[in-house]
Chain A
Amino acid sequence: MEIPKDLKYAKTHEWVRIEEDVAYIGISDYAQEELGDIVYVEMPSPEDSYDKGEEVATVESVKAASAIYTPITGTVKEINSDLESTPELINQKPYEAFIFAIRFSDASGFDELLDAQSYEKHVEQEKDSH
């Protein structure tokens, strides 16, 4: 299981890459593995605004449908339109296949995100509880 050191993670298994005032959000290697073959990603509309913790996208696999939440309040700057025709990119390269990007104004919301080491611990705990 790959957990890149340069990214932040949410307990709901999103990864976050912050570039200035934009946060790129995808799902972790562990999440894609758990979901199985991903067949569809339901995207938000660009420019729509979302509150922290709100459901922004849905990732559907052959066995489940999972909500993707935003860890920060802001507006949708960009969606990864490649995923509309090739959603399996999330299985193949989970950390390159961002799902959407949020432009934010207040970075303090990121305080609750985990670093790679804490996220790994969180995943281990979750595996144990299964």
Chain B
Amino acid sequence: MIAYLPHTDEDIEAMLEVIGVAGIDQLFADIPRELILKEPLQIPAGLPEHEVYRRMRALAERNRVQNVSFLGCGSYDHIIPAVVSHILSRSEFYTSYTPYQAEISQGFLQAVFEFQTMICELTGLEVANASLYDGHTAASEAAVLALNSVRRSETILYSSTLHPFTRQVLRTHFSNLPVHLEEIPSKNGTTDLVDLVAKLRPGVAGVILQSPNYLGYVEDLSGLAQDLHDNGSLLILSANPLSLGVLKPAGEWGADIAIGDTQALGLPSYFGGPSVGYITATEKLLRKMPGRIVGQSLDQEGKRAFLLTLQAREQHIKRERATSNICSNQALAALATTVYLATLGRQGIREVAEQNTQKAHYLYGRLVKETAAEPLFDRPFFNEFPIVLAKKAAEVLPRMEERGFYAGVDLNRLDPSTPEGTLAIAVTERRTREEMDAFVEALKEVLR
């Protein structure tokens, strides 16, 4: 076995001699003695490459990858065309990280520019950045953008129908800042808009809502933007971007900022990440947008060229008054979304979204009619819905798993305020009729 260390014993000796140190141990003299290992770590010796492969393959085979997934709640099992991973694994994209040197990063900058353009088109808003870490942190960034844009504001209102993780990230992000966060309760599965409007007052920078919300239900936001704007507050709308193939986007609701996570657009669930957060806003908010923004310009020969732009917002220029402290983006994962969107096109996105809607409604209809499960509420939904089982989810899920299904997310585990036995079931375009029919039969059996 080779240790893969670049220095030979002679190299090390020569270097020690130059700096006048007797041995390598002396370089660590500042570390307290009791913290230094007395003997080598108790780990097995190295294995030859082919034995590592064998061992890893044996481990991988224990995963139940053949199970049919109805998991959702922010991470979904969609079809990803082969072209996505093909483009992604090209070394020009795979190995290049940060596009500070615009002249040698034209490929990546163009891809990010396309990402921004397509996210703007999907959300119906005017400016987008190069991406954020995920949908949950995008909510925090949107809140900061609102607080920076609305003078003398210190309050952010958010709905209790936001994904529980988004609510947790918001609370963590602002826990030590002079910002007041206030949760708006829900009523029959969607935000209590009467309560929301009653809470509007001077100092409210913005209101964050999610539609489809974390239960899967579509929120009706008619007239809300006007109420908020009359109060000088901004409307921040979070959405699964795929749902915008069939649902009204943020721009049409009169929202000022749109946020969300692009996992549904070309990214596998992995083990929960990496994902991509998106943020778009009206042009009025452009100068306060967080993160990188790629712009289009002309080079000295008059040819189309791309660059990072509007950097006066960022901390290396504006110092302590910066409105952007991200300094990075999810470049490679955002590229996956870009390739996915470009492959499907406008018509394709609509078609995928329609298939999601139709299949989810087919399964919903059968489950409600034929099994002992009840819908949590009777509300419009996109591609996921909650049902209440007569048994505990913790009892039902392992038995469904044995029958070849990941049956859904236990919502009570995600948010204890949801009744026990509530299962969130997501149906994507990837599910076939046979799979859904088999799922119904299996659930009947398990609930019997």
Contacts and interface: CB of A to CB of B under 8 A. Distances in A.
B433 interface: no
Interface in B151-199: 151
A61 B312 CA distance: 8
A115 to B, nearest CB: 30
A107 interface: no
18 contacts: A39-B312, A40-B287, A40-B312, A42-B287, A45-B151, A48-B151, A60-B287, A60-B312, A61-B312, A63-B317, A64-B312, A64-B317, A65-B312, A65-B313, A65-B317, A65-B318, A65-B321, A67-B321
Nearest to B322: A65
A34 B151 CA distance: 29
Contacts of A45: 151
A63 B316 CA distance: 10
A45 B152 CA distance: 13
A1 to B, nearest CB: 25
Contacts of A63: 317
Interface in A49-96: 60-61, 63-65, 67
Interface residues of B, number: 7
A67 B323 CA distance: 13
8 tightest CB-CB pairs across the interface, nearest first? Answer: A65-B312, A60-B312, A65-B318, A65-B317, A42-B287, A64-B317, A48-B151, A67-B321
A63 B151 CA distance: 26
Interface string B303-342: 0000000001100011001000000000000000000000
B80 to A, nearest CB: 41
A130 to B, nearest CB: 17
Contacts of B321: 65, 67
A28 to B, nearest CB: 20
Contacts of B151: 45, 48
Given A40-B287, A65-B318, A67-B321, 15 more contacts: A39-B312, A40-B312, A42-B287, A45-B151, A48-B151, A60-B287, A60-B312, A61-B312, A63-B317, A64-B312, A64-B317, A65-B312, A65-B313, A65-B317, A65-B321
A8 to B, nearest CB: 25
A67 B318 CA distance: 10
| Residue from B312, B313, B318, B321 whose CB has the most chain A CB atoms within 10 Å | B312
Nearest to A50: B151
A65 B321 CA distance: 9
Nearest to A45: B151
Interface string A24-40: 00000000000000011
Nearest to B287: A42
A127 B151 CA distance: 34
Contacts of B317: 63-65
A121 B312 CA distance: 30
A61 B318 CA distance: 11
Contacts of A67: 321
Contacts of A61: 312
B288 to A, nearest CB: 9
Interface in B117-176: 151
B363 to A, nearest CB: 51
B158 to A, nearest CB: 26
Contacts of B287: 40, 42, 60
B390 to A, nearest CB: 57
B43 to A, nearest CB: 52
A82 B319 CA distance: 28
Interface in B263-317: 287, 312-313, 317
A99 to B, nearest CB: 16
A89 to B, nearest CB: 18
B431 to A, nearest CB: 50
Interface string B395-433: 000000000000000000000000000000000000000
A65 B323 CA distance: 11
Contacts of B318: 65
B303 to A, nearest CB: 22
Nearest to A59: B312
Interface string B65-89: 0000000000000000000000000
Nearest to B313: A65
A40 B151 CA distance: 19
